[in-house]
Amino acid sequence: MSQSTERREFFRTRADVEVQYRFLADYLQDPDLGKMFRGTTNNLSGGGLLLHGILPKLEWVPDLLMQKMAVGVSLQLPTENAPVLGLARVAWIETIDDRTRHCRLGLRYREITTADRDRLFQFVIHQQVP
């Protein structure tokens, strides 16, 4: 019998963090593209985050999963004045509520500066140490 273990590239924190995000795609003309939304995460690492928020259009799901669309994120860490900015791809989507369009998006950073990734690492490490 084999034992399955989850392998993560980065340590994670369970701290609640506010996230502002927008959906981006060059090929699509839609008034909801580029519009800023607010959400939260309680699962954050230097490699990505679990976003709790609104998905404005259910028809975007295939393009998000096929990485034709990106998600720009701005994380307001409680220990920082300036937000951490990044461009992410959707790794998975779960629990979409048809009525409210609230869902959970697993995001992996596609582009993030070294300085912002370092700020995330520091935040996660400080959350691990009591």
* Predicted confidence (pLDDT) per residue in 97-121, tens digit: 989 999 999 999 999 999 999 999 8
**Reported confidence tier of residue 127, pLDDT bands at 50, 70, 90:** confident
Are 79 and 48 contacting, i.e. CB atoms less than 8 angstroms apart?
no
* Beta strand segments in the chain, E: 12-13, 17-24, 37-45, 48-54, 70-76, 84-94, 102-111
pLDDT tens-digit readout, 39-93: 999 999 888 999 999 999 999 999 999 999 999 999 999 888 999 999 999 999 9
Distance CA 128, CA 130 (A): 6
Model-wide pTM > 0.95: no
What's the average model confidence in pLDDT over 9-19? 72
